[in-house]
Amino acid sequence: MTTDALVLDAAAQDLLFREARTANTFSDEPVTEEQIQAIYELVKYGPTAFNAQPMRVVLVRSDEARGRLVEHMMDGNKAKTLSAPLVAILAVDNEFHEELPTQLPHFPQAKDLFFTERPVRESTATLNGALQAGYFIVGVRAAGLAAGPMTGFNAAGINKEFFADGEHSVLAVVNIGKPGEDAWFPRSPRLAYDEVVTTV
Amino acid sequence: MTTDALVLDAAAQDLLFREARTANTFSDEPVTEEQIQAIYELVKYGPTAFNAQPMRVVLVRSDEARGRLVEHMMDGNKAKTLSAPLVAILAVDNEFHEELPTQLPHFPQAKDLFFTERPVRESTATLNGALQAGYFIVGVRAAGLAAGPMTGFNAAGINKEFFADGEHSVLAVVNIGKPGEDAWFPRSPRLAYDEVVTTV
């Protein structure tokens, strides 16, 4: 039943959701710049409120930067953050409204009408940046790669270390690569439809 | 270049991201319970921190409930919220941690170790619920439907009206259906890769 009611082909369903899993170990195969560009050029089209597009991505490619990042990860996440072929910091730019005059050409006043206060910008950035992080994880899988998103870290430490301007907030750190040996934990349960969806 | 580096086939890329658009008008064709079930049964597999799965969906199917919802929408969103075949309220359950003993069987202590304080639960619910909202929007498109996500509403009003327990927070309201006449605004620009992605 579940497949018949969808238009997306079954192989794509498996690739993006059903067989895709959060990887805990990775092979040595590198993740290329071309792959990340292709992921971004696809998922950039995912919708955000006011076309705000607050998500920013920092690809941690140098050993030096990886060392600085691992310092701020919780102990249980350090080993896999060290061993993943590529680590991406997903953050938001809390000054995203500066881009609205070009990104929202039919309503450039939005910048001054709605976003003069930092707390409003922060909540808009967090909500829409997390939406985009969802699209990004789907995009990583669309590239045939496994994503290992993590939120176990010292956010203030990462923000200070990687975003010296004080205008960015980390949302998640994502390990990316081809899965390695014993990459998967047993899949955890999911809530049943009736536990999640109600009708009024 | 962008397509070659992805494994997902081009038709699925178009369906989910490239040709999919936020619809502003809809046809009369109903959205069935079977379609929403199929969407959920697919996107439920998207990862969340601690397998928290905080997103809850309220399908607004009765005229009475739709009337109550429209009251709390911003003026510019009222007409399309009234005319969409189906409207879904995407919210989070800030008491999601009560489900962890069954949903995170390898680490049931997480409930009491990390989530005793409401503000921590709220920020975890918002971040992961928004990730799930991203998966859900992709899922709506996987069903061959258009999604029209909106954040222009009185959140406190919707929370009080639809979630009397005080434990849920609305994230977005999403119109769902087949696109109607003149459904699309011209597509707004997207930030370039180099504006979003940096390497360290």
User: Does residue B129 sit in helix, strand or coil?
Assistant: helix
Mean pLDDT across the stretch A64-72?
98
Distance CA A133, CA B48 (A): 11
Which residue type occupies A120?
A: V
For B114, which residue in chain A has the nearest alpha carbon? A152
Q: Is residue A186 part of a domain?
A: no
For A58, which residue in chain B has the nearest alpha carbon? B198
Express each pLDDT in B48-79 by its tens digit.
999 999 999 999 999 999 999 999 999 999 99
Q: Is residue A57 part of a domain?
A: yes
Q: Is residue A192 part of a domain?
A: no
| B200 contacts A65? CB cut-off 8 A | yes
| B38 contacts A4? CB cut-off 8 A | yes
| A59 contacts B199? CB cut-off 8 A | yes
Minimal CA separation from B13 to chain A, in Å: 7
Distance CA A34, CA B12 (A): 20
- Residue pairs between chains A and B whose CB atoms are closer than 8 Å: 261
- A150, A81 in Cβ contact below 8 A? yes
**What CATH number should be reported for the domain holding residue B129?**
3.40.109.10
* Probe site for chain B from A33, A45, A98 (most B CB atoms < 10 A): A45
Of B34, B51, B138, Cβ closest to residue A135? B138
Q: Can you give the residue range of the structural domain that contains B169? A: 18-179
Express each pLDDT in B87-104 by its tens digit.
999 999 999 999 999 999
Mean per-residue pLDDT of chain A? 95
What is the pLDDT confidence band of residue A18, given thresholds at 50, 70 and 90? very high
Mean pLDDT across the stretch B118-138?
97
Q: Is residue A45 part of a domain?
A: yes
Q: Is residue A68 part of a domain?
A: yes
For B60, which residue in chain A has the nearest alpha carbon? A200
Q: Nearest-5° angle of CA A170, CA A128, CA A5? A: 120
Q: Is residue A193 part of a domain?
A: no
For A128, which residue in chain B has the nearest alpha carbon? B130
- A60, A88 in Cβ contact below 8 A? yes
Of B128, B162, B189, Cβ closest to residue A102? B189
- B44, B53 in Cβ contact below 8 A? yes
* Probe site for chain B from A50, A99, A131, A137 (most B CB atoms < 10 A): A131
pTM, two decimals, is 0.97
pLDDT given at position A66 = 98
pLDDT given at position B119 = 96
Domain total in chain A: 1
- B117, B131 in Cβ contact below 8 A? no
Distance CA B26, CA B85 (A): 7
ipTM of the complex: 0.96
Of A42, A152, A200, Cβ closest to residue B2? A42
pLDDT given at position B3 = 57
Spell out the residues 6+ positions from residue B138 whose beta carbon is closer than 8 angstroms to its own: A16, A46, A134, A135, A138, B16, B43
pLDDT given at position A24 = 87
Q: Is residue A200 part of a domain?
A: no
pLDDT > 90? residue B184 = no
pLDDT given at position A173 = 98
Express each pLDDT in A70-126 by its tens digit.
999 999 999 999 999 999 999 999 999 999 999 999 998 999 999 999 999 999 999
| B143 contacts A5? CB cut-off 8 A | yes
Express each pLDDT in A131-162 by its tens digit.
999 999 999 999 999 999 999 999 999 999 99
What is the pLDDT confidence band of residue A183, given thresholds at 50, 70 and 90? confident
pLDDT > 70? residue B158 = yes
- Nearest CA-CA partner of B140 in B92, B179, B180: B179
Of B18, B103, B162, Cβ closest to residue A189? B103
Q: How many helices (H) and strands (E) in chain A?
A: 9, 5
pLDDT > 60? residue A3 = no
Mean pLDDT across the stretch A57-79?
97
Distance CA A16, CA A168 (A): 29
Q: Is residue A76 part of a domain?
A: yes
